[in-house]
Structures are given as C-alpha cells and as structure tokens.
C-alpha cells in the first residue's frame, strides 16, 4: 500500500476542504483553530511532508531554518505571501504556492463596502443606533460624501483592482490607476493610466490600495504622499496593512486632510490599531476580504490542487517560489 503524504494544516478550514484533505492525505488538523507559536509550528511540522498555512503563520528566516528536512512544500491558503521569507524557503528547497484568482470578487466586494461605509459615515451611524444616542435630525445631521461620479484612484490594477474598477463603474466613477505595467486597452475599459503614484494621487477623490506587500511597497502611503491627495479624500485598504504609514494616516484623519478611511487590514493582526479604532471617521473590518463560504472553499481547493500537483510529480500551478 502506498503511504499517503502527511500534511500539517495550521488553522481550521472549511469542512469540505478538510474532508478532501482527509480523503487524500494523512492530515494533522487544528480543530480548535489555535494560533500556533513559531516553536509549535516547527515541532508540529516534524514528519510532515507539507504545510498548509494561512497568512497568520509567519515563516521568517529563523522559522524556515528550523523546519525539519521532511517539509517539501508550503501550500498557502492565501494570495499574499508576505508572511513567507521566500528567499529562505528557496534556499531550503521548499516550494511555496498561493491561491490567486479565487478571492478577487469577494475582496472587491469588501472594497466597495468600505468605500460606501467610509464615505457615508456608516460606523458613526451604526454606533448611534446601537447605543441609543440618536435623538435628533436636521439637514446638517450625519452628512457624508457621495461616491457617485467621483474619481477613484487604484494602486495595483491586478485581479482585484480590475474588479474594483468594474464594480465602481456602476457608480459612474472615473477610474484612474497606477500599476507596474500599463494594461492592454481592452482591460483598461477607459481607465486613465498613471506611470507614477505621485501622478495618480492628486486626481484620487477616493484611493483604493490593491497592490501586494513587498519590501518596495512597505509604507507606500506615507505622509508625503497623503499630502498629494485632494483635501477630504477617502482611503480604502483591502490589500495589506504594511502599505500604510498608520501614524501618517491618523494625523491626516485628525487634521481633516482626509475625510475618512475604510480599512480591512492593519500592520498588527489580529487586533488592528486601537488608536485608529478610536477615530470616528473610520470604517473598520477585521481582515474579512475573502470571508465568504464560496471563496474560502475555493481557496482551500486551490491550495489542495497545488499539493496534488506536487505529489503527482507535476509543477504546481500557483508556485511563487
């Protein structure tokens, strides 16, 4: 009888994904959904041929060096791989994959939710209804800003960015974007290309961050760049918290330079930034961009497709290292 490969799964996955894992592999599950420490991760990987982690597990250079030799592949349940030291994993000969494509629609939906919530002061209104403090109404009460026919700037016009643009066109928004490379004309759909962030920012009434976190994009949105935005602009981030200088963001929200911000990601996760949470002109979610059952199943199946390919002696479709 052929021995099945052993897979360490670091978090609780959807039932359908775990059922497929149990069918095809010897699997070490995490039914309590505990967050493993680096030491626990290394210990649990002993004897495992593969690890199926989420972005909550950090494969730093130190952790990678301590992984047992039996680990051959890290098949991420995520698109972003900023939690992985790809160079260190490559030096150990460990293959790394991700799950692109399948969460683009869900993440774009959250970007639109954040856009509407931030523009229309939804957090303030929702809090007022819950604490019973709504006592009056007047023409000056809870006035926000429209998004219809506003200029939307998108940094990172990949899969998610393009769907955000597509959804935003339903609000008759004028789309501007900055990307490493200009899109083919058919993909642009009349969006205006900018070859620098500095060119994009002054025409962005609403700015959506949709690029990956890399060493080059850490603190991409600095105080200097925020200053280039129109007064009373709105910032939306569904990508990674590391893209934003959070102190600069708070300063701009407090001063009125920015009208509001809608955030699903933060530099510190889980938990977020409590100083940002204290600001009334923010609309905040706990990193749930991909949190639909359809998407989470698809992410799990995509990760398993990569594992299946590797253990069948084929190149995984979504190999990133």
Q: Is residue 321 part of a domain?
A: no
Q: Is residue 317 part of a domain?
A: no
What's the average model confidence in pLDDT over 69-88?
A: 97
| Active-site hit among 18, 124, 174, 269 | 269
- pLDDT tens sequence across 190-207: 999 999 999 999 999 999
Number of residues that make up the chain: 321
Same domain? For 79 and 138 the reply is: no
CATH code at position 181: 3.40.50.720
Catalytic residue flag (residue 274) = no
d(CA 206, CA 173): 10
Same domain? For 134 and 273 the reply is: yes
What's the average model confidence in pLDDT over 42-69?
A: 98
Residue 70 has pLDDT above 60, yes or no: yes
Residue 22 has pLDDT above 70, yes or no: yes
Q: Is residue 52 part of a domain?
A: yes
Q: Is residue 236 part of a domain?
A: yes
Catalytic residue flag (residue 269) = yes
Q: Is residue 1 part of a domain?
A: no
| Active-site hit among 11, 120, 225, 287 | 287
Which residues, including other chains, have CB under 8 Å from residue 98's CB and lie 6 or more apart? 76, 78, 79, 80, 81, 318, 320
Within 13 A of 243's CA, how many CA atoms are on the CB side? 22
| pTM, rounded to two decimals | 0.93
User: What is the residue range of 127's domain?
Assistant: 104-284
If one counts the domains in the chain, the total is: 2
Catalytic residue flag (residue 287) = yes
Confidence of residue 1 (pLDDT cuts 50, 70, 90): low
Looking at every residue in the chain, the average pLDDT score rounds to 97
CA-based Rg of the chain, rounded to a whole angstrom? 21
| Active-site hit among 240, 246, 296, 302 | 240
């Amino acid at each position: 009888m052929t021995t099945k490969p052993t897979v360490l799964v670091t978090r609780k996955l959807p039932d359908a994904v775990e059922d497929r894992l149990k069918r095809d592999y010897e699997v070490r599950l995490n039914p309590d959904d505990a967050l493993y420490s680096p030491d626990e991760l290394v210990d649990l990987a002993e004897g495992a041929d593969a690890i199926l982690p989420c972005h909550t597990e950090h494969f730093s250079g130190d952790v990678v060096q301590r992984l047992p030799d039996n680990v051959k592949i890290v098949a991420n349940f995520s698109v972003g791989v900023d939690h992985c030291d790809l160079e260190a994993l490559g030096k150990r000969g460990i293959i790394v994959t991700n799950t692109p494509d399948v969460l683009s629609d869900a993440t774009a939906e959250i970007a639109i939710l954040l856009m509407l919530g931030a523009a229309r002061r939804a957090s303030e209104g929702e809090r007022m209804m819950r604490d019973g403090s709504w006592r009056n109404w007047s023409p000056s009460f809870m006035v926000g800003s429209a998004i219809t026919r506003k200029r939307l700037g998108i940094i990172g016009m990949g899969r998610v960015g393009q769907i955000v643009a597509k959804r935003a066109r339903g609000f008759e928004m004028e789309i501007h974007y900055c990307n490493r490379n200009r899109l083919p004309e058919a993909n642009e759909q009349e969006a205006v290309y900018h070859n620098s962030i500095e060119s994009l920012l002054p025409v962005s009434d609403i700015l959506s961050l949709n690029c990956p976190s890399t060493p080059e994009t850490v603190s991409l949105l600095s105080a200097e760049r925020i200053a280039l935005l129109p007064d009373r602009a709105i910032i939306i981030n569904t990508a990674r918290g590391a893209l934003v200088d959070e102190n600069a963001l708070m300063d701009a929200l407090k001063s009125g330079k920015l009208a509001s911000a809608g955030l699903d990601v933060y530099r510190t996760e889980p938990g977020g930034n409590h100083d940002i949470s204290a600001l009334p002109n923010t609309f905040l979610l706990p990193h749930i961009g991909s949190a639909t059952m359809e998407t989470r199943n698809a992410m799990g199946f995509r990760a398993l497709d990569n594992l299946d390919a590797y253990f069948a002696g084929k190149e995984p479709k979504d190999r990133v290292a």
